[in-house]
Chain A
Amino acid sequence: MRELFLLLTKSRRFMSGLVLFTLIMGFALIGPWFHQVNPFAMTGGLFYRPSDQFLLGTDNLGRDILSQLMHGTRTSMMIGLIAGGAATSIGVVIGSVAGFTGGLVDDILMGFTNILITIPPIVVLILLSVAVSVRSAVVMGIIIGVTSWPWTARAVRAQATSLKEREHVDLARITGFNNVEMIVREILPYMFSYIFMVFILQVTSGILSEATLSMLGLGPFRTVSLGQMLHWSLLWESVRVGAWWAFIPAVICLTTISFSLQTMNTGMDEVFNPKLRKD
């Protein structure tokens, strides 16, 4: 574990992603301490330009954009983490059980997974989001999580299938471990680095899914998220009236989060799969 982490700190790609990510997290988490403005309070007028009083201007309802951006980044991150956590857990459980058990269980679980992979996730996301009556940030995270696990399950299954042929697994079997114990002790630890990478990818795609859903008008209720900010700017035409401060900051935040996470992920990929390392 510690060795892996040390190895990661040597990867320039991983570290630059991590620094970028930490910066944006700091902005979202610590920022509101220094800038205590309610993101929903109508403190200014219609599309005020950035000024000393409103560092990033105001939106169509005169709300402070900087404050929206801080709270929005926080909400988006939270949704991404919940979605990523849920999707990774479901995927890992289904994938490792299917791969390790094999036989009929494997066929059933993977048949199910493959059908879900074929159906575009956005469709299920839209239908589920329309159906839930209270769409809080947490609920959205869960919805995104339960729709995006299939490819993780498939990938984890492939790993589990090959891992179970190893000798230490046989040894554990002779020792009298049951299936659950063997999966937890002998299979999962060996793909820890892989699972961590999957988690980061899932968080990224969760954040982007939130933005997609919100922009379609299925965003979280009574909360501001990055996707919500973009939705408002579409709905109230801030792009067309040229109020760049109402949407460019959200675009930059969203892209930076996604880029930093993807960079971390590729950095890890290069460390863990030496074949990709080019030096």
Chain B
Amino acid sequence: MLKSKMLRYLGKKAIWYAVAFFVALALNFFLPRLIPGNPVDVLVAQMAEGGVASQSLERLYDSFITEFGLDQPLHLQFFSFVTNVLRGDLGTSFMNYPAKVSSMLGQALPYTLAIQIPAIIVGWLLGNGFGAFCAYKGGKVDSVGFTVALFFSSIPFYTLAIILVYLLAVMNPIFPVSGAYSFGNWPGWNWDFISDALYHWILPFSSMVLVSIGGQAIGMREMSLYELTTDYVGYSRALGLKDRKVVGYVFRNAMLPQITGLALAFGTMMGGALVTESVFSYPGVGRLLFTAIRTNDYPMIQGATLLITITVLAANFIVDIVYGFIDPRVRAAQLGER
């Protein structure tokens, strides 16, 4: 009985995300098609500047049009776009023709995740701890701590990244200026590479984590302040419960909305993370996107944005499920116990 209801909750969530995914697919397909003319024009024009003979240009043009399916009616194009995406085929890069967009993104994704996931989780844990601490202490600690958190959360990720690079890599060359590993090193599961990669990872990671600590701390402080004024806290205190026990309750209740904040963080941090990668020339999805935008590589732009959407949707889905298991209120509501 209980199990089937939980399954229904999961099913409902899954359908919800499937719809969101489909809308994202449609946006991903139709928005770039608002471009006047078509992307192939741009590509061929660029090649003409590169001095390719006009006769072969025409042939190139036709073959690109066929290859990208631009000679078909729009709804058929959309249909084949969706089926291709579902098969994991994101098309061919214009600039790195004939490299597949999906394989280029596949190589870049681990680097993006290696920065983002730890940064978000560590930032979330430290930020919530700090926020709750400020709220509980109150007074001077709170007002100073809060201002510091506010300051860090106002700094856009990438500007902190720029400052860190300048201070700790250019002015005082403690850390490498760019890249994910040294020139001449090659990715592999050996200590040489891993230590080198970690060394390159520290700065981009820190630049993101500092800012997200700030944002999370602000949210948590507010939630805790609110919880501290509720009746159950007053009641527990009146009952003479130990401070530690009361704070424990407050934490648990204030924590729950912060889990939703975790899901939101994935979505909102994405933009900043993409730019941070470009600052460090870190070979992730953001770096690919940066280059693709500069070179009008439309299939790559489309592929990268789609990958970002999928990553964020997946993260949200996971958080939703976890939330459903953790929060007794949501669980009860979903299971119809109330």
Contacts and interface: CB of A to CB of B under 8 A. Distances in A.
A122 to B, nearest CB: 3
Contacts of A208: 156
A174 interface: no
A133 B35 contact: yes
Interface string A3-34: 00000000000000000000000000000000
Given A119-B27, A217-B294, A130 B159 contact: no
Interface in B266-300: 266-268, 270-272, 274-275, 278-279, 289-290, 293-294, 298
A156 B188 CA distance: 51
Contacts of B316: 118
Given A124-B31, A259-B150, A276-B225, A217 B290 contact: yes
B249 interface: no
B305 interface: yes
Contact of A278 (B20, B142, B159, B312): B142
Interface in B1-53: 17, 19-20, 23-24, 27-28, 31-36
A115 B158 contact: no
B23 A122 contact: no
Nearest to A151: B264
Interface stretch (A45-53, A81-89, A240-248): A240-248
Contacts of B19: 115
Contact of A262 (B23, B28, B154): B154
A118 B23 CA distance: 10
A240 to B, nearest CB: 6
A169 interface: no
Interface in A197-215: 204, 208-209, 211-212, 215
B32 A242 contact: no
Contacts of A218: 293
A132 interface: yes
Interface residues of A, dominant DSSP: helix
A278 B138 contact: yes
Max chain A C-beta neighbours (<10 A), residue from B35, B150, B270, B289? B150
A126 B305 contact: yes
A121 B20 contact: no
Interface string B186-227: 000000000000000000000000000000000000100110
A216 B17 contact: no
A131 B154 contact: no
B258 interface: no
A188 interface: no
A95 to B, nearest CB: 18
Contacts, number: 149
Given A118-B20, A119-B23, A130 B35 contact: yes
How large, as a class, is the contact surface on chain B? 35 or more
B105 interface: no
A58 interface: no
Contacts of B155: 255, 258-259
A251 B229 CA distance: 39
Interface string B138-173: 110010001000110111101100110110001100
B31 A131 contact: yes
A14 B139 CA distance: 18
Nearest to A12: B143
B170 A262 contact: no
Nearest to B291: A217
B104 interface: no
Max chain B C-beta neighbours (<10 A), residue from A126, A248, A255, A278? A126
Interface string A217-251: 11000000000001001100001101010011001
A120 B23 CA distance: 12
Contacts of A2: none
Given A216-B275, A276-B222, A251 B35 contact: no
Nearest to B320: A118
Nearest to B222: A276
Contacts of B163: 248, 251
B255 interface: no
B101 interface: no
Given A239-B165, A251-B163, A278-B138, A211 B156 contact: yes
Interface string B235-277: 0000000000000000000000000000000111011101100
A120 B270 contact: yes
Given A119-B27, A218-B293, A258-B156, A131 B34 contact: yes
Nearest to B315: A120
Contact of A258 (B154, B177, B222, B267): B154
A251 B159 contact: yes
B232 to A, nearest CB: 15
A123 interface: yes
A137 interface: no
Interface of A: 115-116, 118-128, 130-133, 204, 208-209, 211-212, 215-218, 230, 233-234, 239-240, 242, 244, 247-248, 251, 254-255, 258-259, 262-263, 266, 275-276, 278
Given A120-B270, A242-B171, 20 more contacts: A119-B20, A120-B312, A121-B267, A121-B268, A122-B270, A122-B271, A123-B24, A123-B309, A130-B35, A131-B32, A132-B34, A212-B275, A216-B290, A234-B278, A239-B166, A240-B178, A251-B162, A258-B155, A258-B156, A259-B150
9 contacts: A119-B309, A212-B274, A216-B274, A217-B290, A239-B162, A242-B166, A259-B150, A266-B150, A278-B142
